[in-house]
Chains A and B, each alone.
Chain A
Amino acid sequence: MALAKLEQLSKSVVQGPSLATGAVPTKDWMETPAIFKEGNFAYPAKKEKVEYLNSQAGLEFPNARIWSPDEDDWKLPENWQEIILNGLKERLGKFRSLKIFMDCCVRCGACADKCHFFLGTGDPKNMPVLRAELLRSIYRNDFTLAGKLFGKMAGAREMTVGVLKEWFMYSYQCTECRRCSVFCPYGIDTAEVTMMLRELLHLVGVGINWILEPASNSNRTGNHMGLQPHTFKDNVDFLAEDLETLTGVKINHSFNRKGAEVLFITPSADVFAEPGLYTAMGYLALFEQIGLDYTWSTYASEGGNFGLFTSNELMKKLNAKMYAEAKRLGVKYIIGGECGHMWRVIHQYMDTMNGPADFLEVPKSPLTGTVFNNAASTKMVHISEFTADLIRHGKIKLDPSRNSHVLPTYHDSCNPARAMGLMDEPRYILDHVVPKWVEMPENTIREQTFCCGSGTGLNTDEIMELRMRAGLPRANAVKHVIDKHDVNMLSCVCAIDRATLTSLMNYWNPGCGVCGLSELVGNALVMDNEKRAMGYDAEGNETELPEGFRTMV
């Protein structure tokens, strides 16, 4: 489906039938079925990808088949209802969060207009409370006394194919960004609900390709992009060569090297496509300049983890490569690159799932001597923490004027902000690498930050209009600072953001670029023995790297 023109969509989000702007549906939500048509659903997972995952030890991905959400028959297993209800029962026993979140909601509506999907689509079922009610109504019906006694009057309903379809639609119109949970008086986190819905759907073979294909790639080749070891190496080598051309500094990097002090892991998208490539060049330049004894790994060549968007088992299996590789190579600790959901997994799940990493040491910066006690157990440090510490101790020389071609604002990625508390390290770095940067309005940053609209594996092109709608709150806040301060760059610390915000800016705010923070660090970094290439700036004057690492030479 072709993406609507900007003018059309701009009108539609305000004037279209939207509960966010005042149109209250006449029909009760339980009477409103989910209707699938081209453009409003992500394509289902390919049969062979599901089969591959199902063949892997520790994983269960049954019912591989060819199917499509817009067909009536989803080819579910005969006892699908029993599978779902048993699956729900099992999860209620495994996750206290699920039980509490099913029982405690009072439908106060504080979350209703906090969701970017609701603001962009106006669909009532995109209010976090109603998204959770989709599951809660089933929970009431089969697991509570009130639901059994009073049925629909108590908000209960029977599990039907229609409900299952609704689950599929709305658990994939949630990016698990946790913004609603900030505002909920009981901290009810829709991410927890959506994760459960997605796990339940996988039990009957309902999943999307944009998640399961990268996940199976990651399992087999080590990264989402499916880059085999030699290709992964080629890509990084290519970036290193480019960097040498730009800076005149020879880059020394290595792969799968035993005995290195540090293992570096970043999302593979950083070595695969613009603008992430420039972020990766930033890492290479920084590590070269400080002489860090580090290695890349082709086996653990993915920071991201689409298992987080699938099931806790898959998340654990994919994540386990990080420690396994750190152990095999005998490194002391791990540094992780810029990525949002990757850091949710590392910060909140990794040690629990795959620890204890007692074969590693508490991370200690070889240059500043700083011991990262906040990572004492996982032994994994965020690149922004590592870089901020270098800057604080004056261990790198930075010339912010080298970034004078940009006037950035900063986008807090959902997971670092709301599932980690990484907010001021990137800001501290920004303060030191650019001449000037500005904040977006306070209700759209830090813990109230808005998602790019395409997280949790929803960055697929067939749902572009949905993505542009869901990204509207973020784009709109960027537009505010573009209009007010002439901002021309949206910086972030997330690989999915670098890809998705680029589409979002191209659509809503053409002319505004997107970059990783480490790209700005690399641009500003004064390197030993550098001989920077010349290029032409906007006025046509010949100067050194007028556009930083993006300069065409």
Chain B
Amino acid sequence: MKYTFSFLAVIALVLIAWLGSQIPGMQYLFGVAIPYLAIMIFLGGFVYRVVQWAKSPVPFSIPTTCGQGASLDFIKQDKLDCPTKTSEVVARMFLEIVTFRSLFRNTKSELHEGPKITYESSKWLWLFALIFHYSFLVVVIRHMRLFLNPVPAWLEFLDFLDAGAALQVGAPLLYATDLALVLGVVLLFGRRLVNRQVRYISLANDYFPLFLIFGIATTGILMRYFLRTNIDIISIKELLVGLVTFSPVFAAKIGSIFYIHLFLVSTLLIYFPFSKLMHLGGVFMSPTRNMANNSRAKRHINPWNDPTIKPHSYAGYEDEFREFMVDAGIPVEKELPPQKDE
């Protein structure tokens, strides 16, 4: 099965980092070289992909209109779903990107005897996607505390909220988003298996990022809550602050679980620009969503429009049919010659 391969690939990555980081001297590779490489590939690759997209023009104005357009003054325009102004497009895009509005529309159709087709609202995918993406986002932001010295107040506050949301006391504080991220991954993976249509279309590269992120989340959780031997947060922070200030240092021995975590994150960063994860960038650039529906009011320019493509000319048309036209009393540009056509 396709997910077996993806699963084994992630297991292999874990083993590589686990075994590799125990070889003396290899900590530098897993703690410094690979992370640097990963960040470079991620940033460079991401920019490269976006630039590649931007290089291709948008020849035609092709927004998908999902509501009434602007026309007569007594017809109410749906400004969000059929925007004409830039501000309206921005609002449409904002809600799309921040609230996954198109997924909120999702329906499930069923065929019954009769035949009769029914449609009902289906918000599971929307919900799972929100849980996953937002918890991932908060987890990423929370990690900034490991790179910043001193930790800014807003980050402390976010930390406080996240831990507080999990409604517990004691140390280490459990983060709500840690649970939500794992839950989100599990739900999205479960959906891929349970929904027959999605199962049929899923590729190995749909399962791989799910397993990878699952691996990242669980190693992070293990490190924070369970495998705390040799996890000296001070030396980890020293290493990470050192990385972002381009002066990496190794103060003390750090447990393998940290290297596994870091290696999986590095893999995700490297994998990102070459995969469907680029939807993060693409969602901003989709012409069916980010264009105004004003193509009759304002001319959209196609840079490769070919001016040499002309219609079959009227003159050619009249030449072919002039006799019939004159007979039928249709006005012509050139009257029939006395004897025969030229």
| Residues in A lying within 8 Å of B, measured CB to CB | 10, 13-14, 18-22, 24-25, 29, 56-59, 92-101, 103-110, 112-114, 119, 124, 127, 129-130, 133, 144-146, 150, 153-155, 178, 181-189, 192, 219-222, 228-230, 233-234, 255-258, 298-299, 312-313, 316-318, 320-321, 324-325, 328, 346-349, 351-353, 355-356, 370, 372-378, 380, 385, 388-389, 392, 417-425, 428, 441, 443-444, 446-448, 472-473, 476-477
B residues contacting A by CB (< 8 A) are: 5, 49, 52-62, 64-72, 74-78, 81-82, 96, 100, 102-103, 105-109, 111-117, 119, 125, 129, 195-206, 274-276, 278-279, 282-283, 285-289, 293-302, 304-306, 308-314, 317-318, 320-321, 324-325, 327-331
B286 x A105 contact (CB < 8 A): no
- Are A419 and B62 also in contact (CB < 8 A) when A19-B196, A154-B204 are? yes
Number of interchain pairs (Cβ within 8 Å): 338
What would 30 A/B residue contacts be, using CB atoms closer than 8 Å?
A14-B111, A22-B196, A57-B310, A93-B55, A96-B56, A97-B58, A103-B49, A103-B282, A104-B276, A108-B129, A108-B198, A119-B109, A181-B64, A185-B100, A186-B286, A187-B289, A189-B64, A189-B288, A192-B288, A220-B317, A220-B320, A256-B331, A353-B305, A377-B296, A377-B297, A420-B65, A421-B68, A421-B78, A425-B75, A477-B117
Q: A351 to B305, alpha carbons, bound, how many Å?
A: 11
A-B contact sample (18 more), CB < 8 A, given A22-B196, A144-B274, A317-B310: A56-B312, A94-B56, A95-B57, A96-B53, A99-B52, A100-B285, A107-B203, A113-B108, A124-B201, A130-B200, A182-B66, A183-B103, A229-B321, A320-B311, A374-B297, A388-B75, A420-B65, A447-B66
Bound-complex Cα distance A56 to B72 (A) = 40
Q: How far apart are the CA atoms of A20 and B76 in the complex, in Å?
A: 37
* B102, B113, B125: residue with the most chain A Cβ atoms closer than 10 Å: B102
Find out whether the CB atom of A96 lies under 8 angstroms from the CB atom of B200: no
Q: For residue A93, which residue of chain B has the nearest CB?
A: B56
Residues A421 and B198 in contact in the complex (CB < 8 Å), given A230-B324, A377-B299, A392-B74: no
Instruction: Identify the interface centre among A150, A220, A299, A385: most chain B CB within 10 Å of its CB.
Output: A299
Assembly CA distance A257 to B330 (angstroms) = 8
Chain B contacts for A94, CB-based, 8 A? 56-57, 59, 304
Residue of A106, A182, A328, A448 with most chain B CB atoms under a 10 A cut-off: A106
User: Could you tell me if B117 and A119 are in contact, using CB atoms closer than 8 angstroms?
Assistant: yes
**For residue A351, which residues in chain B have a CB less than 8 angstroms away from its CB?**
295-296, 299-300
Q: Is the CB of B328 within 8 A of A234?
A: yes
Q: How far is the CA of A153 from the CA of B203 in the complex (A)?
A: 8
Interchain CB contact under 8 A, B282 and A219: no
- CB neighbours (8 Å) of A106 from chain B are 206, 276, 279
Check B62 against A97 for contact (C-beta < 8 Å): yes
Contact A108 B125, beta carbon cutoff 8 Å: yes
Contact of A24 with B60 at beta-carbon distance under 8 Å, contacts A100-B287, A222-B317 already known: no
A29 to B2, CA, bound (A): 13
Q: Is the CB of A58 within 8 A of B49?
A: no
Q: In the complex, how many angstroms separate the beta carbon of A177 from the nearest chain B beta carbon?
A: 11
Nearest 5 Cβ contacts at the A-B interface = A421-B69, A104-B282, A187-B288, A320-B311, A230-B328
Q: Out of B196, B199, B283, B310, name the residue touching A104 (CB < 8 Å).
A: B283
- The answer to whether B68 touches A107 (Cβ under 8 A) is no
| Shortest distance from the beta carbon of A382 to any chain B beta carbon, whole Å | 8
Neighbouring B residues of A298 by C-beta, 8 Å: 325, 330
Contact across chains for B321 and A472 when beta carbons are under 8 A apart: no
Q: Which residues of B contact A93 (CB under 8 A)?
A: 55-56
Given known pairs A100-B286, A183-B102, the reply for A316 and B309 (CB within 8 Å) is: yes
Chain A residue with Cβ nearest B52? A99
Distance of B327 from chain A, by nearest CB (Å): 6
**A446 and B81 alpha carbons, distance in the complex (Å):** 12
Closest-CB distance, A185 to chain B (whole angstroms) = 5
CB within 8 Å for A154 and B295 given contacts A104-B282, A299-B317, A374-B69: no
Are A58's CB and B301's CB within 8 A?
no
Q: CA of A380 to CA of B295 in the docked complex: distance in angstroms?
A: 11
Q: B314's contact among A220, A299, A385, A443, by CB below 8 Å, is which? A: A299
Known: A144-B274, A443-B119. A182 touches B197 (CB 8 A): no
The CA-CA distance from A328 to B58 in the complex, in Å, is 31
> Among A185, A230, A421, A448, which residue has its beta carbon within 8 angstroms of that of B103?
A185
Alpha-carbon distance A199/B257, docked complex (angstroms):
53
Give Cα A130–Cα B205 distance, bound, in whole angstroms.
Answer: 15
Task: Output the least CB separation between B319 and chain A (Å).
Answer: 12
B-side contacts of A355, CB under 8 Å:
299
A99 x B312 contact (CB < 8 A): no
- Cα–Cα distance between A288 and B68 once the two chains are bound (Å): 30
> How far does the alpha carbon of A153 sit from the alpha carbon of B204 in the complex, in Å?
6
Q: Which of B55, B129, B287, B311 contacts A324 (CB 8 A)?
A: B311
Q: How far is the CA of A474 from the CA of B196 in the complex (A)?
A: 24
Q: Answer whether A182 and B305 are a contact pair too, CB < 8 Å, given A103-B276, A233-B330, A378-B296.
A: no
Contact B67 A423 (CB under 8 A): yes
Min distance, Cβ A72 to any Cβ of chain B, angstroms: 28
